[in-house]
Structures are given as C-alpha cells and as structure tokens.
Amino acid sequence: MLHGRRAEQAVIDRMLRDVLDSRPSALVMRGEAGIGKSALLDYAAANAQAHLLRATGVESEATLPFAALHSLLRPVLDRAEALPAQQSAALLGALGMGGASRGDRFLVGLATLNLLVELSSHQPLLCLIDDAQWMDGESADALMFAARRLHAEPVAVLFTARTGQDFPANGLPELWLSRLDDTAAARLLAERSGALPPAVRDQLLAEAQGNPLALLELPRMLTAEQRTGALAPHSFPSGAAEPVTDRVLAAFRDRITALPGASRAFLLLAALDDRGSLEVLARAAGALGVALADAAPAEHADLVRVAGDGV
C-alpha cells in the first residue's frame, strides 16, 4: 500500500480512465532514487483495465540501439505483420529480426506508433517505461515520436526518469515526485519497522527526509541496542552532508560486500539478466561454477528473491 501518494495516484487514475474513453495520454514522472517511481508504475499496472506493455531502461544497455524498444515490443512483434511492409521491415530490421537493415529512424518511429495503434484497436493499451533515463536514444526517440502523435487512440504511455539524469520530456507533461510528508513517512516507517523508541523513530524520520527507500532501509542499519533505544543511533550523524540516497546505496553495497564470493557472482548474473528467468540464470551460473544454492545468503540479506521459476 502506498502512503502519501493520493495526488499522484489520482493523476494515474485519470490516465487510466481516459484511455478507456479513447483519450490518449502520456506522462513523464520524475524523482530521485527511491522516491517511489517504480511503485507508482506498479500501481498503474495493478489498476489498469488495459493490455500492458512494460520495459525498464537498463544502464548497461543504454548504448545499444533499440534495446529498450525491443524489450517493450517483444511480446507483440508478431503483430508487425499488420503494418505496411516498409514499416514492418524497418521495425524488424531495427530490432535485429529482419533483413540486415538497421532501420530508418523515421520509419521505425512510424512503425512503433502504428503498432501501438493496431494493438489498441483490440484493447486499450498501457505502456509503462521505467528508468527511461537509461533507455538507448533510438528507443527513446521512437517512443517519444509515437507518444506525441497519439490523438484519439486508447493508448497511454507512462515514463519514469531519475532526477538529474538526461531524459528530455520533449513537451510531454511531467510530474515531479516530492518526498513523502511527515504523516505519510511516519506511517510507512511504523508499518514496516514495527515499534521503535520515539527518539530513534524521530531520528530515522529526520534522516530519511521523506524518501521511501530510506525509510525502509535506514532501520535495517540499526544495531540491536539502537533498536531498543539503549544506544543512540550515532551512525547517522544528523545534518550529514551526504544525500540520504547515497547512504542507502552505500548500505546496499555493504550488504553485498558482506556476502560470500559465489553469492556476489550470483547477484551479478541476476542483475545482468533483465528477464529474471531461473533457468537461464542456472545455466549461466553453472558455467561460472556457481550453484543456485549460492543465492541463499543474498536472499537472506533481502537483496534478491527466488520464487517459482524467476528471480
């Protein structure tokens, strides 16, 4: 459950309603790391009565032309047949699935637009693109081209991008996610960390500055004595210059460093595989002499979750 995001949820609800009435919309949600961008995309996905297409920008693929478009459109590429031949050839070529052509960028944009429109003629369509700041430029151009040309089709496109990173909105509406207010922050902390002595709780709230990820992660850094209030959490000097997100990221690093080498190798593989298929991961791990059992310490440290056939 999301705390303190009523206004943002209302904006998303509105988009989801509009798309059912064939009023297309697009939005770029911006905010710092851990502020709740992905959580709001999950909210949109959970509440949409629409066909969903999702992709996440991956930093290591930011320079691979059309990598993000490929991951967004992969489930529906069989429908490219419905496009004019030139467009389908350009799109499939760009995605490495057709002839040798790397694709004319205008034709790829047009093909992307028309593929989304074709899909939406059967069912309203919602495209969610997380961490768009890491999308390769070619994919970003094609999706922006399409998003700007929707007029009366039931298609909604929602991007998220991290503050301070380059992802121009090109005239699309933008929504900046601010930090949670005090009430929402206190609720989130209470919900997830249970009872804490008031002084400790107040210090955590001050440190986290309304950043949800910090509210979830800072309490994990408390020692048992700090948790009971027997010892002040001096590890968080108040007014520290370091941004709270940097400290949270540093805490993740510490948790990773504390793992055995094989578990770290497993995490690295899991991070490199954007599909999270256990079968693929097991094969890659085997090639490195890493067993699936090596995931256990990382799972125990809440860094990864292995469930069913996915990671």
Ligand X SMILES: Nc1ncnc2c1ncn2[C@@H]1O[C@H](COP(=O)(O)OP(=O)(O)O)[C@@H](O)[C@H]1O
Binding site for Mg ion (CB under 5 A): 37-38
Stretch that binds ligand X, among 10-18, 93-101, 209-217, 249-257 (CB under 6 A): 209-217
Binding of residue 161 to ligand X (CB under 6 A)? no
Of 107-115, 119-127, 210-218, 261-269, the segment contacting ligand X by CB under 6 A is 210-218
Binding site partner of 264, from ligand X, Mg ion, none, Cβ cut-off 5-8 A by kind: none
Shorter beta-carbon distance to Mg ion: residue 87 or 160: 160
SS3 content of the chain, % helix, strand, coil (to 5): 55, 10, 35
Distance, CA of 265 to CA of 268 (rounded, Å): 5
Q: Which is nearer to ligand X, 127 or 146 (CB)?
A: 127
Q: Does 30 bind ligand X (CB under 6 A)?
A: no
- In the bound state with Mg ion, the residue whose beta carbon lies nearer, of 36 and 124, is 36
Which residue number, 37 or 264, has a Cβ lying nearer to Mg ion?
37
List 14, 18, 23, 38, residue binding ligand X (CB under 6 A):
38
Between residue 39 and residue 58, which ones bind ligand X under the rule CB under 6 A?
39
Which strands make up the sheet holding 51-56, listed edge to edge? Answer: 51-56, 125-130, 155-162, 25-31, 174-176
Residue nearest to Mg ion (CB): 38
Angle at 88 between CA 86 and CA 90, to 5 degrees: 70
Shortest distance (Å) from residue 87 CB to Mg ion: 32
Q: Interacting stretch for ligand X, rule CB under 6 A, among 35-43, 100-108, 135-143, 287-295?
A: 35-43
Q: Please enumerate in sequence order all residues whose Cβ is within 8 A of that of 234, keeping only pairs 6 or more positions apart, or say none.
A: none
Residue 300 has a CB neighbour count (10 Å cut-off) of 11
34 binds ligand X (CB under 6 A): yes
188 backbone dihedrals φ, ψ, rounded to 5°:
-60, -45
In this structure, how many other beta carbons lie within 10 angstroms of the beta carbon of residue 249? 15
The answer to whether residues 96 and 89 touch, using CB atoms and an 8 Å cutoff, is no
Instruction: Kindly state the smallest distance separating residue 179's Cβ from ligand X, in Å.
Output: 10
State yes or no: residue 5 binds ligand X (CB under 6 A): yes
CB atoms within 10 A of CB 308: 6
Measured from the CB atom, is 5 or 70 closer to ligand X?
Answer: 5
Q: Using the rule CB under 6 A, which residue among 16, 110, 157, 188 binds ligand X? A: 188
Rounded distance, CA 295 to CA 298, Å?
5
CA atoms within 13 A on the CB side of 49: 8
Q: How many CB atoms lie within 10 A of CB 291?
A: 13
Minimum distance between the CB of residue 172 and ligand X, rounded to whole angstroms? 19
H or E stretch covering 19? helix 6-20
Residue 189 near residue 205 (C-beta atoms within 8 A) = yes
Part of the chain binding ligand X (CB under 6 A), chosen from 34-42, 121-129, 221-229, 276-284:
34-42
- Contact call for residue 65 and ligand X (CB under 6 A): no
Strands annotated E in 147-257? 155-162, 174-176
Told to check if 3 binds ligand X by CB under 6 A, we report yes
Site of interaction with ligand X (CB under 6 A): 2-5, 31, 33-39, 188, 212-213, 216
